[in-house]
Amino acid sequence: MIRRGYRELMATDAVTPMGTVSFRLGLLGVAQDALYATRLAGLGLKPKHVALLCVLRLRGAESQMELAGLLGVAPSLVVLLADHLEERGAIQRVRDPADRRRQSLRLTETGLRLLASATEVAAQLDEELALSLPAAEQAALNAALDHLLGRAPDRISAPE
Amino acid sequence: MIRRGYRELMATDAVTPMGTVSFRLGLLGVAQDALYATRLAGLGLKPKHVALLCVLRLRGAESQMELAGLLGVAPSLVVLLADHLEERGAIQRVRDPADRRRQSLRLTETGLRLLASATEVAAQLDEELALSLPAAEQAALNAALDHLLGRAPDRISAPE
DNA sequence: CGCGGTCGTGCAGGATTTGAATGATTCGCC
DNA sequence: GGCGAATCATTCAAATCCTGCACGACCGCG
């Protein structure tokens, strides 16, 4: 091994996180989230609101606490998200009769329609994505995302 | 087509953005970014700092303005990022003699080492990712990310 | 030389999220 | 059956992050 000077370091293959999956996944994902947020503006929602609706639709939740765990956010944020969704008539807060500390969040028909609209927006993004991505790779990406998200509708947040 | 009541809607296949690539990509990416941020804490860096270093290493930039464009952030944020990196000795600000309004950001050897450490951290995340992802799918994910990021080291930010 | 435009910078403000404090309620345990 | 500890939802203040705007320095053209 020879001591390398700055010039020689520059000449070697670049050592950057751009070579890693995780870094680029983060880069792309953050951008995608931001893009989705702007497209969602017309519905008066943010991606987090949609995520909450998803959990409600796909598995339900006993309490806001559980919801917070599933979404990977603080319980106090769930309060804010639920406030907004309730104002829009997308959900209803119902005191759990069995445990009156808990609020059961119930998806309304309005909420179901809102979720369908949000899905529409995401589907539109998928189409745009498909323009720069061969079908085979899109399918592969799909499968990889399935694996990483655990394929259980439970986990919306990050694994680990 | 029959008018469906709430009950029947519940019984049909769920219509949610969880079926789309873009939504899950955003979900996962945001989580990955957050995870990388915490792992990066020891180095005193955030993912944005690393992204800036990446651009500098991979293609360089004539000005902070250009950097802002490549990173997809406001020029005033580049100032903050560069401030922090300069304090850590990772970069040097050099007035461009040809145009004294511009600052040339030069990567120092310290910056190179820091970037290598950040790469190390990302590589570690990749390994953890590989645990829940078959090798074939990881490769496919890699290829898809390449496509979506344009494979040019230019664009760090989101396409479009 | 002077004028419009560009660059970097400082700063105040908006948005987002968290953690601690509070009050209501429930549960374990005696 | 009752009391203390734990749990839930909520509020609030604070931290963080990022943007837009204003300002001063500087460029180039007429």
CA dist A27 → A62, B66, B109, B116, B149 (Å): 34, 18, 25, 18, 9
- Protein-covered nucleotides of chain D (CB closer than 7 Å) are 7-12, 17-22, 24-28
The amino acid at residue A85 is L
3 state DSSP class of B124:
helix
Q: Which helix (H) or strand (E) holds A33?
A: helix A21-40
Residues B57/B156, Cβ–Cβ less than 8 Å: no
The single-letter DSSP state of residue A97 is S
**Residue B13: inside a domain, yes or no?**
no
Q: Does a structural domain hold residue A39?
A: no
Per DSSP, the three-state class of A158 is coil
| Residue B1 counted as domain residue | no
Tell which strand C nucleotides have any atom below 7 Å from a protein Cβ. Answer: 5-11, 16-20, 23-27
Q: Identify whether A108 is part of a domain.
A: yes
Indicate the number of domains in chain A: 1
B89 to chain A, any CB pair closer than 8 A? The answer is no
Block means of pLDDT (10 residues each) for chain A, 160 residues, are 46 85 97 98 97 97 97 98 98 97 97 98 96 88 87 48
* Greater pLDDT, A105 or B150: A105
Minimum-distance residue to C6 (CA–C1'):
B101
Q: How far is the CA of A73 from the C1' of C18 (A)?
A: 9
For residue A108, what are its two tokens?
A: 């309304």
Please report whether residue B117 resides in a domain: yes
Q: Is the CB of A73 under 7 A from strand D?
A: no
Quick check: A123 contacting B, CB < 8 Å?
yes
Instruction: Specify if B15 maps to a domain.
Output: no
Which residues lie below 8 Å from residue A77, measured CB to CB, with a gap of 6+?
A48, A68
Q: pLDDT for B135-146, tens place per residue?
A: 888 888 999 998
Task: Give a yes or no: residue B69 inside a domain.
Answer: yes
